[in-house]
Amino acid sequence: MISRKWVSAGISVALIAMLAGFVARNLVLGTPVPVYVATRGALVQTVVASGRVMTPQRVSVASEATGRVVSIPVDEGQTVRRGQVLIELDQSDERAAVAQAQAGIAQADAKLRQLTAFVLPAAEQAELQAEANVRQARQQYDRTKDLVARSFVAQSQLDDAQRNLDVALSQLRAAQLQVATNRPDGSDYAVAKAALAQAKASLQVAEAKLDATLIRAPVGGILIARNVEPGNVAEAGKELMALAPVGETQLVLQIDEKHLAEIAVGQKALGSADAFPAQRFAAELEYINPGVDPNRGAVEVKLRVIEPPPYLRQDMTVSVDIEVARRADAIIVPSDALHDADAAEPWALVVRDRHTVRQPVRLGVRGDERTEVLEGIAPGDALVPVTSVTIEAGRHVRGVAIVRNASG
């Protein structure tokens, strides 16, 4: 029978042999360490923030002018579109003003056409007649002057010929002025053209006043209040109806000022309400407050919800991921494989030829759990996690397990 002493000795020898084998294997193959593997792929950098929903508030509907209400073609609680007629006021005076303005345009247009079709041609014919009269009077004057010089006629006849020539010249100047003033660049034509423009402007004013008798919805929404009935007198500026807009919904967030250089108007985002965390909706950054809250160290931003889901309510708490950068083909490593990532000289502990090497790196886009490496790391490199604090540079190691790869 084997004594207990020999059994204990055997167990001790076996343990020592096993330990020696383990140490020998580590000396030959290296100390086993968990590693991450750098990969190549797409990477998105986001800024995450929380905030609240802000929906458009009540919109008041009022009349621009005082008038008697003729009809109200909508009902309380009805959904209306922008520009839809909500209230019709009496239009008798406004329609009469439009008709009067239209008559003024017709009159001014007829005057302008009269100048072109009748007055100007008549003036041009009068000018031709006046030119003929001048030629005849000048010839008569020249003949009389010659006869006086030869003492065939008296001086009085030459004086009469001079007067006739002067009258003919005066009539020619008058005819020329009449032609000039009725041409398109003349004063009478300009006055008639100005009268037509004034008549058209009067029609625009009259039509605007007529259109103002139709009170329209300033925005699309639901009619939530109605304070007027047919037959009432609507006073200018007094609220007649109220609308709850169904338009744009915004998200108001407070973002840490350290991200100010990363965010920009137009960036895309995904949001989710805390009450419905599994349902995400698209948004777009449309406003960045130019000031920073000194108490919070944050900047206020607003995002437009592109297609607001029906469950969003005013002041709901939301979480938003704003996409600030994207790389389609990047070298990616898990963020917890990087040392001093926020410092000026980040580095990683890389396994090369079964030895750990302190490798300086240059970083690019940073995601939630992954980071782009621009220089220092190649796809397939094994990186020792930061949590392996006992592993230092220069150690003989081997990567025996992949905790997870850079695709996360």
Name the residue ranges covered by the structural domains of the chain.
30-45+327-402, 59-90+213-245, 93-211
Helix (H, G, I), strand (E, B) or coil at 158: helix
Q: pTM of whole model > 0.85?
A: no
Supply φ then ψ for residue 377, to 5 degrees.
Answer: -130, 140
Give mean pLDDT, residues 152-171: 86
The residues near 385 (Cβ < 8 Å, ≥ 6 apart) are: 34, 35, 36, 334, 336, 337, 403
Mean pLDDT of the chain: 85
CATH number of 30-45+327-402: 2.40.420.20
Q: Looking at residue 273, what is its pLDDT? A: 94
DSSP symbol at 339:
B
Instruction: Give the tokens for residue 55.
Output: 């929906």
Q: What is the pLDDT of residue 96?
A: 93
Distances (CA, A) of 387 to 138, 146, 308, 336, 400: 121, 131, 43, 8, 16
pLDDT on residue 407: 44
Architecture of domain 59-90+213-245: Beta Barrel (2.40)
Beta-bridge partners for 6 = none
> Could you tell me if 71 and 88 are in contact, meaning their C-beta atoms sit under 8 angstroms apart?
yes
pLDDT for 247 equals 64
What pLDDT score does 28 carry? 45
Residues 6+ apart with CB under 8 A from 274: 316, 317, 318, 319
Two tokens, residue 88: 């019709």
What the block records as the tokens of 182 is: 């009725």
For the cut 70, the answer to whether the pLDDT of residue 404 exceeds it is: no
pLDDT in tens, 231-243: 999 888 888 998 8
Q: For residue 148, how many C-alpha atoms fall within 13 Å in the half-sphere facing its CB?
A: 15
Of all residues in the chain, the percent with pLDDT exceeding 90 is 35
Between the ranges 1-15, 235-249, 291-305, where is the mean pLDDT highest? Answer: 291-305
Q: Which of 83-92, 380-389, 399-408 has the lowest mean pLDDT?
A: 399-408
Band of residue 30 on the pLDDT scale cut at 50, 70, 90? low
Q: Is the pLDDT assigned to residue 284 strictly greater than 90?
A: yes
